Structure 1
């Protein structure tokens, strides 16, 4: 389960690297912009917002979002909380620090 969680954590970071932002953006801004897109970026942003809000990890299935029970949020947050920023593929920066309160506001919108 630890290896699975670390693998998914890497996939999440790769997702962030693929987002399009102008200049430097807070993660809240990057995820809000991604949610406006159709397809994978919008869905990925919704899933990441839920994870950051403490709801756990969800997988997109034909029946909607389903919880991924073998994912360990505690291990994910050990890695996540050490990050300051992520550079996108185009060299822009996404600032990572986010409080659980801020994440809760994202999922409410």
Structure 2
């Protein structure tokens, strides 16, 4: 599966199949919340939260690929990510784009 943030894939002609998406809501555990809360006192990267968000992005991307594959897509163009807070202890990552079939 080709994933592209651009509208065109060089050397490929295709027809649009439709919108595809994948999402993941990821939460932390109380220990990580406490340690990361303490880290905010001294500053610096909150590595546990960075890892949680990376896991959520990977999962959302895998789900997008599954959705595109189920539609018979060869690629996804205009790939984008969005994220938001669901609760104070969790965040959602949404991955979306346009599924296309090569012709």
Q: Same fold (TM over 0.5)?
A: no
Task: Compute the TM-score of the two structures, normalised by the length of structure 1.
Answer: 0.24
Question: By percentage of residues, which structure has more helix?
Answer: 1
Larger gyration radius, structure 1 or structure 2: 2
Task: Compute the TM-score of the two structures, normalised by the length of structure 2.
Answer: 0.25
